[in-house]
Amino acid sequence: MMADNPYGLDLATPSIALQTDDLEAARALLLERGVTAMGIGEHSGVRDFAFSHRRVAE
């Protein structure tokens, strides 16, 4: 995922994993609150998305 970062996320910060019953709603809430997030994808059978608290310089 780090090689394909079209959203310009700051992926240099440590990663954390969170669990939710509704991935789409969780992503939508983060976006609503101003968090930058990639689209939902599937990796090794697990649906997920990356997010960052700030944008890197464009």
Strands annotated E in 1-58:
36-37, 41-43, 46-48, 51-52
User: Angle 24-28-29 (CA atoms, 0-180°, nearest 5)?
Assistant: 120
**Residues contacting residue 27 through CB under 8 Å, at least 6 positions apart:** 37, 40, 49, 51
Is the pTM value of this prediction over 0.85?
Answer: no
Alpha-carbon Rg for the chain in angstroms: 11
The total of structural domains in the chain comes to 1
Mean pLDDT estimate for the chain: 81
- 2 in Cβ contact with 52 (< 8 Å): no
Domain that residue 3 falls in: 1-58
pLDDT in tens, 18-39: 899 999 999 999 999 988 888 9
